[in-house]
Amino acid sequence: MSYSTRERASESVSRISKEIPEDGINFKDFLELIGEQGGLLSCLVLVAPFLFPVSIPGSSLPFGLAILLINVGIILNRHPFIPRPIMEYMISQNNMLKILNGMSTVLKKFERVTKPRLTVLAGKENMLYVNSSIMIFCSFLLMLPLPVPLTDFLPAYSMLFLALGTIERDGYLIVAGYSLAIVTTVYFLLIAILGLAGIKLVLSFLGINF
């Protein structure tokens, strides 16, 4: 699953947004639209609903599972097997355009500063496996049905940095993804230790109210 360097990720996402049917699109047709541009670009789009205030009820499980299986496919160097119910999961045109347009805007901002650097973290095959393994872990956390603030936001941004950093061969962005993955892990451990009430108390102390 290779990524075409002929256009930036934001340009690919903008182009795909023009091809979304009026009656919506399912995962199968969406992946066909992305085509040869690779699993990492798919992951960028699939994390988008958790970066913006776009409400797609029950989306963390199908989106998270799709990201997980795509990265398993990257590690195994084969087309990912995604269960039929996930492939048939429908997203309305309105929600899909919100996702794609929002992600395109974010990518354009990152692309102003991203460039190949510290490429040892992005250009070597063994690091691709490491990065995909971390994304698998974060996608698993994303799927957990926890009614706790930031449990979608944190793993989603970690995966965003890892996927975009790998696409752009920007090791600095990948380091940011590693760092956020560590923060995410600590946060989920705190949830397990303190429980929902404890987390809300801590966030309230920090001035974050939900």
CA 71 – CA 51 distance, rounded (Å): 20
DSSP 35: G
Instruction: Look at residue 209 in the predicted model and tell me its pLDDT.
Output: 64
Query: pLDDT 10s digit of each residue in the chain, 210 long?
Result: 444 445 788 888 888 888 899 899 988 888 888 765 578 888 988 898 888 655 566 778 888 998 999 999 888 887 777 888 888 888 888 888 888 888 888 888 888 888 888 888 887 778 889 999 999 999 999 998 877 778 888 999 999 999 999 888 899 999 999 999 999 999 898 888 777 666 667 667 666 665
pTM of the model: 0.83
Angle of the 153-168 helix axis to the 171-205 helix axis, nearest 10: 170
The CB density around residue 29, as the number of other CB atoms within 10 Å, is: 15
Instruction: Look at residue 205 in the predicted model and tell me its pLDDT.
Output: 64
Give the SS3 label for residue 26.
strand
Instruction: Look at residue 4 in the predicted model and tell me its pLDDT.
Output: 40
Give the chain's end-to-end CA distance (angstroms, integer): 40
Instruction: Look at residue 53 in the predicted model and tell me its pLDDT.
Output: 58
Instruction: Look at residue 86 in the predicted model and tell me its pLDDT.
Output: 82
